[in-house]
């Protein structure tokens, strides 16, 4: 004890000299600590105040095993009770010593200054972890709470602040203006709080603030009502798997009645290993280590007066995204999520995981992930929940709310994540020929461009794969050659050649396979369809044609009689004109609108200006060239009575409807998306 007193004097000298204690960073991290300094001579003046202080100490001492508590009586500041923590071997003995100090008949005068010196000493010696604090408990009418005392303790408060410790002040009973100013000055100087507990009901009102500020812990209020002895109350709380610590704080205005806590199996908490219960005049605290998952119940019988129940739990279970946070635009991808405790994967056997993806424009999409081997889930029961998400139509950050729910527990665990949707490399294929391939001729039939958002993106040749199917015909020989004519470098333009030795139909599928954005990525454009036929015998055709022409001439020369052509010719012209007119009349005028991705109208098909010849010959068709918009040159819009179609002049992967490349005539439904050159448009039937 003499040694501690000498050290206290040394700490005081260091404090007054303005020197900050240095903590060796190599030392192991310790638990945070709460040091309670009690203005005991003022508190002992009222028995009810002693009961209130005992209840407050129960709250601060039972927050858990990860926080230590030490106790200093300002009448005898050289005596330090603790430090200890919940679950320690000496915890019960320490709490008994604190109770005896509260109820002792010591009539000495408190010395708050010496008490705070001793608090500095304890923190200097123990070097507790971050989040430590000092709590001064004093009476609202204490004679120690004066301006002169405050001026003396300023260096002590500043010393605690330098070591990242807050000072909180709790005043008990009616608070004088002097005491209020004293408490507010200390707490505001250190970043702490002043709690004014004037009566027992203020414990009920302030417990959440006290626990939040002194232990950095949030309480959830489960029940708060005024009862009579005839009432029975049952309060339940669902406990998740992997919960490490479960706490209940129960406020009783009167000591009558009984309180019990039962596990999901109906077992009383007092019979469970790892449970700790502390009782004080107004607060009952119950702590359970590694509680059984399920529904726990707090039951109150014959309670007379105010009853309040709070709970908190420590659960290290988190949901994390295992796949890359970068996702491709306009393409479905697999989202992989798992539950973890620290760095360890936790298998969820009776639960489901959902992903709620919110796009930059505020639209929320819901996806169900599974661990049963369906959809994109690779292996059932491995703990990784997977599912296909997208395709997404806008770039940028997308917020993801992950939600884990259990079938037998009415609780939902959530985690907030995000994914970044960006342009990925894509293959754009330009066909170089129209018509059929010649047999036994090496033909340059296509050129491949590799781009990211329209910009060149060189890749090695082996990242482009292909598959050629030919049915009953021979496949032929396909070659892909770098446009730079060098196989040792990357390129973004590749020429494709094909040589066939037989007639038939052929389908060619290309794919780009590479690592991009930290993940394996595959892009597959629309397939190409090619045909080849045997070269016709031109000589035989010419002979046959000459023979037919000769017979026709002979028929014209030898045929005599009435000139039927005088009647047939006008009738034929009339029929043709009638067909053209009827066909023109029944064809509808163009209608509909194009909107850009900012919801702005860019095209009104019904009011487009076109030439007279175009209106006469192509009344229900509009060429993409007439739109005056880049990217639409290779398509034609066809308008029917109740439908609208878009048709490519030739198959192209640079224009997409929905998420599919435009390779054939496709119906445009209302609000259909059209992607052209990295821009997005929507077709609206009626504005």
Residue 584 lies in a domain: no
What is residue 662's three-state secondary structure?
A: strand
533 vs 542: CA distance, rounded Å: 19
Residue 565 lies in a domain: yes
**Are 85 and 135 in a shared domain?**
yes
Which pLDDT tens digit goes with each residue over 521-546? 888 888 888 888 766 554 444 444 55
Q: Is residue 581 part of a domain?
A: no
* Whether 305 contacts 252, CB under 8 Å: yes
Enter the tokens of residue 497. Answer: 């050649």
Domain containing residue 258: CATH number: 2.60.120.380
Hey, which bits of 228-304 come out as E strands? 232-239, 243-252, 258-262, 275-279, 283-289, 294-301
The two three-digit tokens of residue 261, written as one number = 């806590």
Per the prediction, the chain carries an average pLDDT of: 81
β-bridge mates for residue 496, sequence order: 446, 480
The C-alpha atoms of residue 427 and residue 318 are separated, in whole angstroms, by 39
State how far the alpha carbon of 92 is from the alpha carbons of 88, 148, 285, 307, 517, in Å.
Answer: 8, 38, 14, 26, 57
Residues 358 and 211 in one domain: no
Considering only residues 77 and 486, tell me which one the structure prediction assigns the higher pLDDT.
77
Give the max Cα distance, the chain: 150
**What pLDDT was estimated at residue 249?**
92
Domain co-membership, 278 together with 300: yes
The reply to whether 588 falls in a domain is no
> How confident is the model over 380-411, as pLDDT tens digits?
888 889 988 888 889 999 999 999 988 777 77
Please report whether residue 170 resides in a domain. yes
DSSP state for residue 407 in the 8-state scheme: S
Q: At a CB cut-off of 8 Å and minimum separation 6, what does 27 contact? A: 127
Dihedral angle over CA of 628, 629, 630, 633, nearest 10: -60
User: Which pLDDT does position 652 carry in this prediction?
Assistant: 62
pLDDT for res 538:
46
On whether both 481 and 546 belong to a single domain, the answer is no
- DSSP for 160-175 reads HHHTT-EEEEEEESS-
Cβ-based neighbours of 572, under 8 Å, separated by 6 or more:
none
What's the pLDDT at 562? 57
Same structural domain for residues 202 and 285?
no
* Last-in-domain residue among 190, 215, 240: 215
CATH number for position 669: 2.60.200
At 566 the pLDDT is: 63
Instruction: Give yes or no for a contact between 139 and 45, defined as CB atoms under 8 angstroms apart.
Output: yes
Instruction: Give yes or no for residue 97 having a pLDDT over 80.
Output: yes
* pLDDT for position 105: 66
Same domain flag for 522 and 546: no
Q: What is the mean pLDDT of residues 661-674?
A: 82
Query: Do 627 and 651 fall into the same domain?
Result: yes
CATH number of the domain enclosing 373? 2.60.40.1930
Angle value at C-alpha 325, between 319 and 331, nearest 5 degrees? 115
527: which 2 tokens? 């397939």
Same domain, 177 and 299: no
Per residue in 110-166, pLDDT tens? 788 888 888 888 888 888 888 888 999 988 666 666 677 778 888 888 888 887 788
Give per-residue pLDDT as tens, 158-169: 888 887 788 999
User: pTM of whole model > 0.85?
Assistant: no
Rounded to an integer, the average pLDDT of 166-186 is 86
Residue 183 lies in a domain: yes
| CB-neighbour burial class of residue 47 (10 A; exposed 0-12, middle 13-18, buried 19+) | exposed
Residue 644 lies in a domain: yes
Indicate whether 34 and 145 sit together in one domain.
yes
Instruction: Write down which residue in 388, 422, 456 finishes a domain.
Output: 422
The token duo for 678 is: 């990295």
Same-domain pairing of 323 and 242 = no
Provide φ and ψ at 207, rounded to 5°. -60, -40
In the chain, how many domains are there?
6
Percent of the chain with pLDDT over 90: 10
Q: Say yes or no: 362 and 412 in one domain.
A: yes
User: Which range of residues forms the domain containing residue 545?
Assistant: 538-576
CA gap 479, 439 in Å, rounded: 16
Q: Is residue 272 scored above 70 in pLDDT?
A: yes
Helix (H) or strand (E) holding 510: strand 504-516
Closest CA to 474 of 532, 435, 537: 532
Judge whether 585 lies within some domain: no
- Name 310's Cβ contacts closer than 8 Å, sequence gap at least 6: 207, 208, 219, 220, 221, 222, 248, 249, 250
Q: Could you report the per-residue pLDDT of 483-505, keeping only the tens digit for each?
A: 876 656 788 889 999 898 888 88
* Torsion angles phi and psi, residue 468, rounded to 5: -115, 120
**Which of 289, 315, 341 is the last residue in one of the domains?**
315
Q: 403 and 275 in one domain?
A: no
């Amino acid at each position: 004890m003499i040694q501690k007193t000498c050290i206290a004097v040394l700490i005081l000298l260091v404090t007054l000299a303005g020197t900050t204690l240095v903590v060796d960073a190599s030392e192991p991290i310790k638990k945070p600590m709460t040091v309670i300094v009690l203005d005991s001579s003022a508190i002992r003046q009222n028995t009810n105040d002693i009961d209130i202080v005992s209840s407050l100490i129960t709250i601060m001492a039972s927050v858990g095993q990860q926080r230590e508590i030490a106790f200093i009586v300002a009448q005898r500041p050289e005596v330090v009770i603790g430090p200890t923590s919940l679950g320690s071997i000496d915890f019960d003995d320490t709490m008994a010593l604190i109770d005896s100090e509260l109820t002792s008949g010591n009539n000495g005068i408190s010395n708050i200054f010496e008490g705070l010196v001793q608090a500095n000493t304890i923190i200097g010696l123990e070097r507790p972890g971050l989040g430590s604090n000092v709590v001064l408990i004093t009476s609202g009418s204490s004679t120690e709470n004066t301006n002169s005392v405050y001026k003396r303790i300023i260096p002590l408060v500043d010393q605690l602040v330098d070591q990242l410790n807050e000072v909180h002040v709790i005043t008990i009973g009616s608070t004088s203006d002097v005491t209020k100013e004293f408490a507010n000055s200390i707490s505001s100087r250190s970043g702490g709080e002043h709690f004014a507990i004037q009566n027992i009901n203020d414990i009920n009102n302030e417990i959440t603030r006290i626990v939040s500020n002194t232990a950095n812990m949030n309480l959830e209020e489960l029940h708060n009502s005024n009862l009579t002895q005839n009432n029975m109350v049952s309060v339940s709380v669902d406990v998740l798997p992997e919960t490490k610590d479960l706490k209940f704080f129960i406020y009783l205005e009167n000591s009558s009645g009984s309180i019990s806590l039962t596990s999901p199996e109906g077992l009383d908490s007092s019979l469970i290993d790892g449970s700790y219960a502390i009782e004080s005049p107004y607060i009952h605290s119950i702590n359970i280590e590694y509680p059984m998952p399920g529904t726990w119940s707090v039951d109150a019988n014959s309670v007379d007066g105010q009853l309040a129940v709070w709970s908190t739990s420590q659960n290290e279970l988190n949901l994390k995204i295992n796949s890359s946070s970068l996702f491709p635009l306009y393409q479905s991808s697999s989202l992989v999520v798992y539950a973890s405790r620290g760095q360890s994967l936790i298998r969820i056997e009776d639960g489901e995981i959902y992903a709620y993806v919110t796009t930059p424009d505020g639209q929320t999409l819901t996806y169900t992930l599974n661990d049963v081997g369906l959809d994109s889930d690779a292996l059932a029961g491995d703990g990784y929940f997977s599912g296909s998400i997208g395709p997404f139509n806008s770039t940028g950050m997308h917020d993801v709310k992950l939600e884990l729910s259990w079938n037998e527990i009415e609780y939902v665990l959530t985690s907030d994540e995000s994914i970044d949707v960006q342009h990925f490399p894509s293959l754009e294929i330009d066909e170089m020929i129209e018509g059929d391939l010649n047999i036994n001729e090496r033909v340059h039939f296509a050129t491949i461009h590799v781009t990211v958002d329209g910009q060149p993106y060189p890749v090695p040749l082996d990242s482009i794969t292909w598959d050629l199917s030919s049915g009953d015909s021979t496949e032929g020989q396909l070659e892909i050659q770098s446009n730079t004519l060098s196989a040792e470098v990357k390129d973004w333009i590749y020429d494709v050649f094909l040589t066939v030795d037989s007639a038939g139909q052929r389908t060619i599928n290309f794919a780009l396979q590479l690592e991009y954005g930290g993940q394996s990525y595959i892009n597959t454009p629309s397939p190409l369809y090619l045909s080849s036929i045997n070269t016709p015998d031109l000589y035989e055709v010419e002979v046959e044609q000459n023979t037919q022409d000769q017979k026709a001439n002979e028929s014209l020369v030898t045929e005599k009689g009435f000139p039927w052509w005088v009647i047939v010719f006008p009738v034929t012209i009339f029929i043709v004109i009638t067909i053209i007119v009827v066909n023109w009349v029944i064809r509808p005028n163009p209608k509909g609108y194009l909107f850009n991705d900012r919801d702005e109208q860019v095209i009104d098909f019904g009011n487009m200006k076109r030439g007279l010849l175009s209106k006469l010959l192509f009344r229900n068709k509009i060429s993409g060239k007439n739109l005056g918009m880049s990217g639409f040159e290779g398509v034609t819009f066809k308008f029917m009575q109740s439908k609208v179609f878009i048709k490519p002049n030739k198959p192209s992967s640079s224009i997409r409807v929905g998420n599919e490349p435009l390779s054939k005539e496709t119906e445009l439904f209302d609000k259909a998306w059209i992607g052209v050159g990295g821009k997005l448009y929507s077709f609206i039937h009626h504005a």
